[in-house]
Amino acid sequence: MTSEDMNWTEPGSPSDVDLYRVWTGVAAEVWRRRPGPAERLAARLLRSPGLARALVTTPSLLLGWVIATVVVLAAGAAATRSTGTPWVALFAPAVAGAGIAYAYGPGIDPTWELSQTMAVSDRMVLLVRALAVFGLNAAAGLAATAASGAAAAVTFGWLVPMTAVCALALAAATVSRSANVGVAAGMSGWAITVLSSRVASGQFTAAVTRAALVIPYLIVAAGCAAIAAYATRIPRGTPR
Amino acid sequence: MNVEIANLTRRFGRNQAVAGVDLEAGPGVLGLLGPNGAGKTSLLRIMATVIPPSSGTMRLLGRDPGVHEPRREIRRRLGYLPQALGYYPGFTVVEFVEYFALLKDMPSARVPAAVAEAVERVDLGAKAKAKLRTLSGGMLRRVGIAQAIVNNPELLLLDEPTAGLDPEQRVQFRALLRDLGQHATVVVSTHLVEDVGAACTEVALMDAGRVVFRGTPADLAALGTDRDTGDAPLERGYTAALARARAGSAGSRS
């Protein structure tokens, strides 16, 4: 039914009744989407329904992805319990890095160009999504390491390398405009770190337990965050 | 004036996509015509604040898009349909339009009515709850138009909006354009001169990054009265204006 079809009034009906208005009012009620509790909470916290909607549509926060993350970490916890090797600590940074790379970007978001013309900036969307993915992965990882019965040093030791891996994945994804490149960079960077630490110290857990690595991890994280910020900078204004 | 552009340029490496465009536009429908590679899409993307110009000045809706807060205000009042509209296949028509209404910072209480009206205006009411992956190309184009007009924009930029629409839908769309142009500045980039003749109050013809003709569709048609290239008066005017501009630039080079 088109607007032209609806711009008439029934014989005998009050002449000031605009049936088109009535119809769109009814349609608005019928088609109205009721936001879920997570979206309502996010809208309240972020003070922006648009940002909240963008958050709940994050590819790496969709149910399937979250379930996959939990399955991988649960498998890691089970393997840790049976073998004694802290697999959760080794898996968690890689899983989080993949999630961050898939948080947002031109390679992921089919409406990237359109999103760049929105009042809610794509950079703000990226920031909120990245923080949410990081927080969810950190919580899931902590729960999994606690369940695996790992030592305290291992339980928290992977949080700093996870930050560095996430920043590396995000920087690679935003610079290359490809989430897959971000995933590859994060995972290969972490694999190289784990293997080289093992070669140097003879321990699989060295990458997450050696205190000497904390500063290099933080430097990598800060550098990669700066690169991501530069890659997603708002275009400069009109030259004067 | 809703659009004030002076000596605007945009360069991509060695390619000068926009080469010193001056353009002013108030309420009405401005058709942006030109051959492939003339710079129409680049100019629209600059006006949509997707890419910045390399040089020149631009004011949109009386504001400077180079400054954060005015740019945000412009974007609240802007509608944009890109040439290649990406979409989320799992979203329904209503969800997609609503998503962009929210990202345009519309007050959430106004969103459902605005979405319903935009969906009805593009005649997609019967498909409101259909997933985008199930729609035809023409219907997806109309979804794109719905998201562009959902905030009742003061500046509406449409890049090839009639691509994929069947003749009946194009006729309806031209009526919608005329309606929108009553209050807003609508800039339509198109290859289809018949769209310009039917819906536009003004025409700007671009070639090699420059605006080489500006006037009404009747002015453009009048240029081609002594030519026989083209099936319709506007097509003859289009080719005449392009030939004149190219002859002029060749003459100035020699």
- Asked if A117 lies within 8 A of B50 by C-beta distance, the reply is yes
Predicted confidence (pLDDT) at residue B253 exceeds the cutoff of 60: no
Q: Each residue of B106-132: pLDDT tens digit?
A: 998 899 999 999 999 998 999 999 999
Give SS3 for A178: coil
- Asked if B51 lies within 8 A of A235 by C-beta distance, the reply is yes
Q: Each residue of A70-93: pLDDT tens digit?
A: 999 999 999 988 888 888 888 999
Q: How far apart are CA A169 and CA A165, in angstroms?
A: 6
Average pLDDT, chain A: 85
Residue B17: band (very low, low, confident or very high) from pLDDT cuts 50, 70, 90: very high
- Asked if A239 lies within 8 A of B108 by C-beta distance, the reply is no
CB A59 within 8 A of CB A103: yes
Note the pLDDT of residue A6. Answer: 43
3-state secondary structure A99-150: HHHCCCCCCCCCCHHHHCCCCCCHHHHHHHHHHHHHHHHHHHHHHHHHHHCC
Q: Each residue of A171-224: pLDDT tens digit?
A: 999 899 888 999 999 999 999 999 998 898 888 788 888 888 899 999 999 999
What would the two tokens of residue B34 be? Answer: 């030109």
Element containing residue A98 per DSSP (H, E): helix A87-101
Percent of residues, chain B, with pLDDT higher than 90: 64
Per CB-CB distance under 8 Å, the chain B contacts of A29 are: 112
Q: Find how far residue B5's CA is from the centre of its chain.
A: 15
C-alpha pair distances (Å), A14 with each of A4, A9, A24: 19, 8, 18
Question: Is the pTM higher than 0.80?
Answer: yes
Q: Each residue of A121-141: pLDDT tens digit?
A: 888 888 999 999 999 999 999
> Would you call A232 an interface residue with chain B, using a CB distance cutoff of 8 Å?
no
Mutate: best of B57, B72, B74, B102, partner A, most A CBs <10 A: B102
> Would you call A43 an interface residue with chain B, using a CB distance cutoff of 8 Å?
yes
Amino acid type, A82: S
Question: Which range, A33-37, A106-110, A200-204, B56-60, has the best average confidence (pLDDT)?
Answer: B56-60
Residue B159 CB contacts under 8 Å (≥ 6 apart), including other chains:
B40, B41, B44, B81, B82, B83, B189
- Asked if A27 lies within 8 A of B56 by C-beta distance, the reply is no
Per CB-CB distance under 8 Å, the chain B contacts of A129 are: none
Note the pLDDT of residue A203. Answer: 82
Query: In the predicted model, what is the mean pLDDT of residues A40-68?
Result: 91
Strand pairing of B202-207 and B15-25?
unpaired
CB A46 within 8 A of CB A113: no
Note the pLDDT of residue A16. Answer: 67
Predicted confidence (pLDDT) at residue B254 exceeds the cutoff of 60: no
Amino acid type, B102: L
Residue A3: band (very low, low, confident or very high) from pLDDT cuts 50, 70, 90: very low
Q: How far apart are CA A233 and CA B51, in angstroms?
A: 12
> Would you call B62 an interface residue with chain A, using a CB distance cutoff of 8 Å?
no
Residue A98: CB atoms within 10 Å: 26
Amino acid type, A22: V
Residue A238: band (very low, low, confident or very high) from pLDDT cuts 50, 70, 90: very low
- Asked if B68 lies within 8 A of A234 by C-beta distance, the reply is yes
- Asked if A118 lies within 8 A of B125 by C-beta distance, the reply is no
Per CB-CB distance under 8 Å, the chain B contacts of A128 are: none
Q: Each residue of B196-240: pLDDT tens digit?
A: 888 899 999 999 999 999 999 999 988 877 766 667 888 888 888
- Asked if A237 lies within 8 A of B52 by C-beta distance, the reply is yes
The distance of A165 to chain B (nearest Cα, Å) reads 28
Q: How many cross-chain Cβ pairs, A to B, lie less than 8 Å apart?
A: 130
Helix axes A179-201, A159-176, angle to 10 degrees: 140
Residue A213 CB contacts under 8 Å (≥ 6 apart), including other chains:
A160, A161, A197, A206, A207
- Asked if A31 lies within 8 A of B66 by C-beta distance, the reply is no
Predicted confidence (pLDDT) at residue B22 exceeds the cutoff of 90: yes
Residue B15 CB contacts under 8 Å (≥ 6 apart), including other chains:
none
In this prediction, does ipTM exceed 0.90?
A: no
CB B6 within 8 A of CB B44: no
Q: Which of residues 96-155 of B touch A (CB under 8 A)?
A: 98-100, 102-105, 108, 111-113, 115-117, 119-121, 123, 125-126, 128-129, 147
- Asked if B113 lies within 8 A of A25 by C-beta distance, the reply is yes
Query: In the predicted model, what is the mean pLDDT of residues B72-97?
Result: 92
Q: How far apart are CA B206 and CA B18, in angstroms?
A: 9
How are the residues of chain A apportioned to helix, strand and coil, as percentages rounded to the nearest 5?
Answer: 75, 0, 25
What would the two tokens of residue A43 be? Answer: 């809208």
3-state secondary structure A53-92: HHHHCCHHHCHHHHHHHHHHHHHHHHHHHHHCCCHHHHHH
Q: How far apart are CA B242 and CA B42, in angstroms?
A: 19
- Asked if B99 lies within 8 A of A121 by C-beta distance, the reply is no
Query: In the predicted model, what is the mean pLDDT of residues B167-182?
Result: 89
Dihedral class, residue B133 (left if φ above 0, else alpha if ψ from -120 to 50, else beta): alpha
Residue B165 CB contacts under 8 Å (≥ 6 apart), including other chains:
B138, B141, B142, B173
> Would you call B48 an interface residue with chain A, using a CB distance cutoff of 8 Å?
yes
- Asked if B67 lies within 8 A of A57 by C-beta distance, the reply is no
